[in-house]
Amino acid sequence: MKLNLKFSLLLAWYYGFRTIKRGPSYVIASLSSPLTLLFLVYIISRGELVRFAIAGGFIGLVASVALSSSGDAAFLRLQLRIQDLYVASRVTPSDYMVGLTLSYLIFSIPGIVLYVILGYFYHIFTPLSSIYLAMILVLLVISTSSISFIISGSISHVRNVWGIAGILSIIMTVLPPTFYPYTYIPKVALYALFISPATSAAVLVQGIFGLEALYLPALYIIIGETAIYFAVARLLTRWREN
């Protein structure tokens, strides 16, 4: 599969950096939920689980931004009909998906920087763990963005997507052990929650940061989820002449 990287990067720049510049309030809104949960975890646990909440903040932020962006993808497809413009061009659905996925990651950068500062303050980083975290976040944004494309490609009216995106964002980022130790959950429940890429990402990050035992099968799960979700999303994100 040969990608049109120029188109993907331009699309990412427009819907990523330009969105941050045009609407900084959206950046603040995207941070509200992870920071609120961080505050609650700090208060309830009296600071004992704050490192889990900071580590999970990366996961919750990136996943929630990508999942909530299904509304944007649906709006572009159904209202602006932007995909119809690409039918006769060299742009492929994969180019389009990669561009929007990168834009979601770019939009998360201000929040990632904030959590890096918090992580540095609480001494949870090492050079190696930082590299592993970056790799996990890339897999996470691809898999959760693919879920957004699946949602936006399956609905017939844009008004239906906002409620679905909000509910799904809570189910897939708050219920999993994103902000608390994964060992608190019975194994049966944990296996069920692995349907969310945020679960496997959170389990891996907790192990990499030395907060819990490293559960290596979570790595194979998130890689498999990323491949499956992207393939399904690619199938649904089709130009009319494909």
- Residue 25 maps to a domain: yes
The answer to whether position 228 is within a domain reads yes
Determine the pLDDT at residue 6.
Answer: 85
Between these two residues, 140 and 125, which has the higher pLDDT value?
140
pLDDT of residue 241: 47
Helices (DSSP H) in 45-108: which residue ranges? 50-68, 70-78, 82-85, 93-107
Report whether pLDDT(161) > 70: yes
Over residues 226-241, the pLDDT tens digits come to 999 999 988 877 665 4
Domain-embedded: residue 30: yes
Query: Which pair of structure tokens corresponds to residue 171?
Result: 């189910």
Question: Per-residue pLDDT for 17 more than 70?
Answer: yes
pLDDT at 140 over 90: yes
Q: In this predicted structure, what is the pLDDT of residue 1?
A: 56
User: In this structure, is residue 86 part of a structural domain?
Assistant: yes
* 25-34 long-range Cβ contacts below 8 angstroms, 24+ apart: 26/107, 27/107, 27/110, 27/111, 30/61, 30/64, 30/65, 30/68, 30/107, 30/108, 30/111, 31/61, 31/110, 31/111, 31/114, 33/60, 33/64, 34/60, 34/61, 34/64, 34/111, 34/115
Q: Residue 239: what pLDDT? A: 63
The Cα–Cα gap between 152 and 167 comes to: 14
- Contact between 90 and 233 under an 8 Å Cβ cutoff? The reply is no
Identify which of 4-8, 156-160, 199-203 has the greatest average pLDDT.
Answer: 199-203
Residue 135 structural domain: 5-236
Residue 195 in domain: yes
Number of domains in the chain: 1
Residue 147 in domain: yes
Q: pLDDT tens across 73-96, in order?
A: 777 777 767 777 777 778 888 888
Q: How far is residue 218's CA from residue 176's CA, in Å, rounded to a whole number?
A: 13
Residue whose pair of structure tokens reads 């890429």 in the numeric block: 197
Domain-embedded: residue 241: no
Least confident of 33-37, 116-120, 162-166, 220-224: 162-166
Mean pLDDT over each residue of the chain, to the nearest integer: 84
Q: CA 198, 58, 56, 65 torsion: positive or negative?
A: negative
E-state strands within the chain: none
pLDDT at 32 over 60: yes
Any idea which of 131-135, 163-167, 225-229 has the lowest mean pLDDT?
163-167
Dump pLDDT digits (tens) for 38-54: 888 888 888 888 999 99
pLDDT above 70: percentage of residues in the chain: 95
Is residue 242 in a domain?
A: no
Reported as a pLDDT band with limits 50, 70 and 90, residue 242 is: very low
CB 175 within 8 A of CB 193: yes
* Spatial CA neighbour of 41 closest among 63, 61, 56, 59: 56
